[in-house]
Amino acid sequence: MSTETDAIQGPATAAWLKMEHRKGLRLLRAGGRWGIGDAAHLDAKLRRLEISTGEAVQIDASDIAVMDTAGAWVLYRAIKGLRAQGLTVEIANATPNVAEMLDEVVRNDNPCEIAPPQGNAVVNMIAQIGESVVDIAAETAQLISFLGSIFVTLARTAAQPRRLRLVPLVHHMQQVGLNALPIVGLISFLIGVVLAYQGASQLQKFGAEVFVVDLIAISILREIGILLTAIVIAGRSGSAFTAQIGSMKVNEEVDAMRTLGLDPMEVLVVPRVLALVFTLPLLAFFSDIIGLFGGALMAWITLDISPGLFLERLHASLGPWTFWVGIIKAPVFAFIIAMLGCFEGFQVVGSSESVGQKTTRAVVESIFLVIVVDAIFSIFFAFIGI
């Protein structure tokens, strides 16, 4: 063995192939390193071989210094092709290494499919549509049952407040509430600035600059403050819930909990849902204030509306419900985001790849549902006239 492997390190003579013509006999002389690096050009050469029927082919392998499986395969497939044409082919003077490689290759001539079967594109598309309809139906049913079990667990916790896990609750309140203040604040401030600036440039045309205050106050308090906060939190905390629960699921931590008699709904879901339901209204309030502040600042700079005038206008423009219409939606949005985040976490199966997929789903679904529910709220408020 050591002699043949030494040759790998030996002088690297490139593989070569020469053809000699003798009467009725084609002699192919092969030599050098028949390795994977030379396999491409050897293969091209062998494919160009044109040998008329009736000739015998002899391959002299004595000069092959070393051969690997790629080199052996290239030679073997050429021999197979020639034999299929009805030619007799023989290999002469094969070294033990060459004979062994050829043997290995012959033993393993087992062609296989490379890619999974594709099927008909139209059929696949229809099947996919059908599959996703069935999936959506099944998931909706599961989501409703998940919603039910959250309520059951919440009711049980209300009956026995001792079962509420206070430390995780506070921990999650810090994570989703306190730690979200900078990002929520920054975005709200910028939106306030943008609204004031855009509103001012339009209202100036009518000489109604001062109504920019009404514009800012009503749009931020009723809609933008809470909606923006909910979307940021869905991206920030809804996704985190899915990823946390999903990776616990992959790690079998959720199963371990069950075998230890812990209810994952009680341990994992209730603290997260309550934390978000408690903190999202506070975040929305914070967002309102910062948004108004940004708007007031911009109104002062571009329109010369002093803070005093801004406050005065603010009082005049706000109805008794303007603020509450926004804040009332917060716990509902919080519940939707937390429920979907936890639900998708439990939907994770198998690999970490699935954690990524479910996290994306949780964010997309919760933003979608938040906006749908916001629209329903708008209709409802219009109906009752506030």
How far apart CA 244 and CA 264 sit, in angstroms, is 13
Dmax (CA) for the chain in angstroms is: 112
Interaxial angle between packed helices 225-233 and 181-203, expressed in degrees from 0 to 180 and rounded to the nearest 10: 140
Residue of 2, 52, 120, 259 that binds other proteins (CB under 8 A): 2
Contact 33, 65 (CB under 8 A): yes
Task: Write down the least CB distance from residue 116 to other proteins, Å.
Answer: 5
Q: CB of residue 281 vs other proteins: minimum separation in angstroms?
A: 42
3-state secondary structure of 21: strand
Least distance (Å) from other proteins to the CB of residue 224?
A: 40
User: For other proteins, how many residues bind (rule: CB under 8 A)?
Assistant: 39
Binding to other proteins (CB under 8 A) within 108-147 occurs at 108-117
CA separation (Å) from 279 to 115, 172, 180, 192, 292?
Answer: 50, 10, 10, 22, 20
Stretch that binds other proteins, among 255-263, 293-301, 333-341, 347-355 (CB under 8 A): 347-355
Nearer Cβ to other proteins (4/263): 4
Measured at the CA of 227, the angle between CA 223 and CA 233, to 5 degrees, comes to 160
Q: Which is nearer to other proteins, 68 or 209 (CB)?
A: 68
- Tell the smallest beta-carbon distance from residue 125 to other proteins (Å): 20
Report whether 345 contacts 244 (CB < 8 A): yes
- Rule CB under 8 A: say whether 252 interacts with other proteins: no
Place of tokens 């549902």: 369
Separation of alpha carbons 63 and 59, rounded Å: 11
Report the nearest approach of other proteins to the CB of residue 78 (Å).
11
As measured in angstroms, the least distance from the Cβ of 251 to other proteins is: 15
Q: How far apart are CA 73 and CA 63, in angstroms?
A: 18
Q: Residue 264: what residue type?
A: P
Put residue 112 in one of left, alpha, beta given phi > 0 → left and psi -120 to 50 → alpha.
Answer: beta
Give the x/- contact pattern for other proteins in 24-53, rule: CB under 8 A: -----------xxx-xx--xx---------
Stretch that binds other proteins, among 21-29, 202-210, 303-311, 345-353 (CB under 8 A): 345-353
DSSP 249-286: HHTTHHHHHHHTT--HIIIIIHHHHHHHHHHHHHHHHH
Backbone angles phi, psi at 51, to 5 degrees: -125, 125
Q: How far is the CB of 47 from other proteins (least distance, A)?
A: 9
44 or 386, CB closer to other proteins?
44
Do you know the residue count of the chain?
A: 386
In the bound state with other proteins, the residue whose beta carbon lies nearer, of 36 and 301, is 36
Closest contact distance (angstroms) between CB of 252 and other proteins is 15
Residues 51-110 that bind other proteins (CB under 8 A): 68-70, 73-74, 77, 97, 100-101, 104-105, 107-110
Which of 77, 165 has the CB closer to other proteins?
Answer: 77
Binding site for other proteins (CB under 8 A): 1-2, 4-6, 8-9, 35-37, 39-40, 43-44, 68-70, 73-74, 77, 97, 100-101, 104-105, 107-117, 350-351, 353
